[in-house]
A and B are shown apart, each in its own frame.
Chain A
C-alpha cells in the first residue's frame, strides 16, 4: 500500500486532479489513469487518496460529480471543473510556478 513514487503533498494532488479535469470530465479511475499516463508513472494515485481528495474538492465547490455512462456502458460518477475550480486551478498553477522557480534558483545557486 501507499506505493506512490513521489510523496504527494495533499495540495499537489488537488492541483493534479483539477488540472486533469480541466480538459474533460472524468470518472475516478479515469482521473487516476490519466495522471499515471501523463506523468509517465511517476504519480500513481491510489483510491485511498483519490476519493478523499475528490470529496474534499467537491465539498469546496471546485468540482461537481454526476452519474453518467462510461465508454463501455458502465454507470460511473463523472467529475467536472466548476467555475470556482477553474479559478482555483489558476491560483494553484501560479503558486506552483513560483515555488518551482524559487527552489530551482536555490538548487542552482552554488
Chain B
C-alpha cells in the first residue's frame, strides 16, 4: 500500500476514531438484527432467535477489538487508549501513584546525575586530535608507579626512543609570578613545558607562532599565552603578540596565543619553556615533570613500552646510584588523567544503581499489591474475553507511565544532586570539563525510565493476569495467587533490606574514615591561620640581604596588626604545596644508594615558624636570628628523619649534606615533631627545615596565626604588602583550614553522597517492609478476626505479624552483611587510609537498620491487634 494512503488512513483512524467506533457499533447491531430476522423466519421464537444470534455473533467487544487491531495505526491507537486508561486508573489512586513516582524518581535521578559525571570524566575523549595515540609517562620504582619523571632522564628518553612522534614534558608545578607594567600588579600562573608539548597534542597557537626547538636552550624569554588571559588581562588585541610582559621583573616576549579553552594537565595563564640549561632539577633523582607523548603512526603502547624499558635498563647501568630499579610506565593520557577519580566514580555509580534497585523492587512490591486489589477487574475482563497479553500490555503501560513521570521528576533530582554534591568532585582539576546534565544524560534518563517501567511492571503484570476467572468469580478468592504474590513480595523486601544493609555498612565505614580524617592530628594547627603567597622581583631585590630585609620587615609589620598572634612563612605550605624532596645524608659519608637514601621534603623557614604552626620542637633549638648568611648552615629535621639517620644517637650537632656535596654541609640544631606535609590522607611525611634567611629566597608563602576570623586580616595584610612595594602582591589568600578541607573534598563528596544514598535506601526499605506487612494484615483480617473470636490474645497476634517481618529482615541483614564484606574489599583499594573492616561500623549499620525495620514491622502488627472481631466477621 502506498505510504501516503497508509498515512492518511492512520491519520483518519486516529482522528475519526469515535466516528468509526460508532459506525462499527451500528453495523454490528444491524448484523445482529438481520440474524434475528433470519432465525425468526426459520421459525424460532423471537427470544430464542436473539439468544441464538448472540451466540453466533460471539462477543461484540471481541469483534470490535479485532476490527480496531486490523485498522491502520492500530498499534499507536491501542497505545493511546492504554495510556489514557492508565492515566485514569493512576489518577484514581493518587497515593500509590505519588509514592511510586517519588520512589523511582530518587533512583532514576541519582543514577542519571552519576551517569553524567561518569560520562564526563571517564567516557568523554580528551579534546585533542587522535587521542588514542597520546600517552602519559610516569616514573616507576621496581615496577610500582611513583609520580613525575626526572628532567634529565626525560631528555635521554626523548633522544633515544623512536616510538614517539613527539615525547614532551611539563613541569608538575606551576609558578605564580607577579606581572607588572601598565596598571595594577597582578599574579599570573606560569606553566613550564618543552617546545614539543603542543605539537604532541596536535594544538597550535591561533595567533602568532609556536615554540621552536632551539629556543629550549637558555629558555629564551618567550611565552605562549592562554586565550582567556589574552582576552581578559591583555585586552585581546593581536598587537599584543610580539610585545613584552614583565614577570617578576623579567622581560618575557609573547610569541603567540593558544586556542580558546585550551588547557592541559594544569591550568595556567601562560606557558614558558623549560630551560634545558637551567639550574633547576639537574639531578637524576629530582623528579618533577609529567611526560606526554604522541606515538608514531602504527606504534602501539606496548611497543613503545618495550622500547622505553630497554632505555630504562641502559640508564640503570650508566647511573646505578640514581636509576636503580627506576623505569618509565606509559599509559593512555586519558586514563592517566582520570585514574585518581575512577574508583570513586565507579563506586558512586554502583551505589546509585543499588538505590535504583531498591526503588524498583519497592515499586514492584506496590504493583504486586495493586495487582491483588485489581483481581476482580482483571478476572472480569478475562471472563469477557480479553486476551491475557492485552491485559499485560495494559498493566505495563501503567508502570511505564509511572516510571516516565518518575524520570521527569528524576531529572529534577539529578540537577539538584549535580549542583549540590557532584560539582564538588575534583574532576575539574584534572583538566577535564566538569559534568552537566546534557542531552546524553537526558536520553539516558529516558531510556532508564522506560527500562525501569518494564522491569518493574513485568512480574506483577504476569502475576496479576494469572487468574482463573471462573474460580475467582465463583469464590471471590484466589488463595494460591495471594500466597505466591506475597512470597514474591517477601523476596523483594529481602532484597531491599539486604541492599540497604550493604549501603549502610559502606557509608558507615566511609563516614568513620572521614571522621578519622577530620579529627586526625595533622601535626600542625590548621584553625585560625591565614595563608597567601608573596613573591618579589629579583631585578628590584638583587641581593640576599635586600630580599631578607623585605620579608623580615613584612613579617614584623604583619605581627603589629591587631588580631595577629604571630606571622611566619615557608617556601611551601603543608597540603597546599606538596613534594619537593631532596637527598639528605651524614657528612663525611658516600651518598647512599637509592634504597637507603633519605630524601625528606625540603622547606625553608624564618625563626618562629614552628611556634606559629604549633609544631612542637622535641630536641635542640629553633632556627634563630643569629643563623644568617655568614654563619654555619643550620637544619631542623623531623622525628622520623632523626630516627632513620641517627638511630643510635642524638642528631643534634651532627653535620649533614643536603642535596649535593657542592653545597656547604648543614648542622642539625633541632628535631621537630612529625607532621603531614603532602597529603591529609597519608601519614606524616619526612621533612627538613633550612633557615630561609641563609638562602635568601624571593618567593614565600605566608602563615599568619590570628586570634579571630583569619579572613578579616586579608585586607590589612594586602595593604601592608602594597605599601612596601607597589609591584608586589599578597596573592591567593586563603585559610589553611579551607585548603585542608578542599584537599578532602573528593572524599567528602563520596562519603556524603553514599550517606545520602544509604539514608534514602533505608527509608525505601522501611516503606517496602511496612507496605508488605500492612497488606498481609489486610488480607488476613478475617483470619485475625476469627482467631480473636476464638480467644487468641493480642500478644499472640502481635507476635504472629512481627515474626513474619523479622524473618524477612533477618534474611536481608544476613545477605547484606555478606555483600558488605565484599564491598569492603573494593574499598581497600581506595586511595586513602581506609579502615575497612570495623566492627563498630557493621554494628552501627545493623542497629540502625534493625530499629527502623522493627518500627516498620510494629505498625502493621499493632494495627492487627486493634482489629475488632465483630466488625470483621459481620462484613463476611
Contacts and interface: CB of A to CB of B under 8 A. Distances in A.
Interface of A: 1, 27-29, 46-49, 51-53, 55-56, 59-61, 65, 70, 72, 74-77
B219 to A, nearest CB: 82
Given A59-B72, A60-B1, A61-B5, A48 B66 contact: yes
B58 A48 contact: yes
Given A52-B70, A75-B30, A47 B63 contact: yes
Contact of B34 (A27, A51, A56): A27
Given A47-B28, A51-B67, A77-B27, A59 B58 contact: no
Interface of B is mostly: helix
Interface string B1-25: 1000100010001000000000110
A27 B35 CA distance: 12
Given A52-B66, A55-B67, A29 B58 contact: no
B69 interface: yes
B38 interface: yes
Interface of B: 1, 5, 9, 13, 23-24, 26-28, 30-31, 33-35, 37-38, 56-58, 62-63, 66-67, 69-72
Q: Which of B37, B56, B67 neighbours the largest number of chain A CB atoms within 10 Å of its CB?
A: B67
A29 B35 contact: yes
B387 to A, nearest CB: 12
18 contacts: A27-B30, A27-B34, A29-B31, A29-B38, A47-B58, A48-B62, A51-B24, A51-B66, A52-B67, A52-B70, A55-B70, A55-B71, A56-B70, A59-B71, A61-B5, A74-B33, A76-B31, A76-B34
Closest 10 CB pairs of A and B: A52-B70, A29-B34, A76-B30, A52-B66, A77-B27, A52-B67, A51-B67, A56-B70, A59-B9, A28-B31
A55 B406 CA distance: 39
Contacts, number: 64
Q: Which of A56, A59, A72, A76 neighbours the largest number of chain B CB atoms within 10 Å of its CB?
A: A59
A55 B31 CA distance: 15
Contacts of B38: 29
A75 B29 CA distance: 10
A72 B35 CA distance: 12
Nearest to A73: B37
Given A52-B67, A52-B69, A59-B71, A70 B62 contact: no
B710 to A, nearest CB: 81
A76 B27 CA distance: 7
Contact of A48 (B30, B63, B72): B63
A7 B62 CA distance: 20
Given A28-B27, A48-B58, A70 B63 contact: no
A47 B71 contact: no
Nearest to A51: B67
A30 B72 CA distance: 26
B5 A72 contact: no
Given A47-B28, A59-B71, A59-B72, A70 B34 contact: yes
Nearest to A2: B58
Q: Which of B13, B23, B66, B71 neighbours the largest number of chain A CB atoms within 10 Å of its CB?
A: B66
A71 to B, nearest CB: 9
B774 to A, nearest CB: 43
B44 to A, nearest CB: 15
Contacts of B67: 51-52, 55
Contacts of A1: 58
Given A70-B34, A76-B34, A51 B63 contact: yes
A65 B30 CA distance: 14
Q: Which of A47, A48, A60 neighbours the largest number of chain B CB atoms within 10 Å of its CB?
A: A47
A53 B62 CA distance: 14
Contacts of B13: 59
A89 B548 CA distance: 108
A32 B740 CA distance: 88
B9 A47 contact: no
Contacts of B70: 52-53, 55-56
A47 to B, nearest CB: 5
A46 to B, nearest CB: 7
A48 B56 CA distance: 10
Nearest to B13: A59
B61 to A, nearest CB: 11
Contacts of B28: 47, 51
A53 B70 CA distance: 8
A110 B30 CA distance: 52
Contacts of B34: 27, 29, 70, 74, 76
Given A29-B31, A75-B26, 14 more contacts: A28-B27, A29-B38, A48-B62, A52-B66, A53-B70, A59-B13, A60-B1, A60-B5, A65-B27, A72-B37, A74-B30, A76-B34, A77-B26, A77-B27
Contacts of B56: 46-47
Contacts of B57: 47
B78 to A, nearest CB: 14
A59 B24 CA distance: 14
A24 B5 CA distance: 26
A74 B24 contact: no
B28 to A, nearest CB: 7
Contacts of A48: 58, 62-63, 66
Q: Which of B1, B34, B72 neighbours the largest number of chain A CB atoms within 10 Å of its CB?
A: B34
A59 B34 CA distance: 25
B576 to A, nearest CB: 76
A31 to B, nearest CB: 10
B40 to A, nearest CB: 10
B72 to A, nearest CB: 6
Contacts of A65: 27
A51 B693 CA distance: 103
Nearest to B1: A60
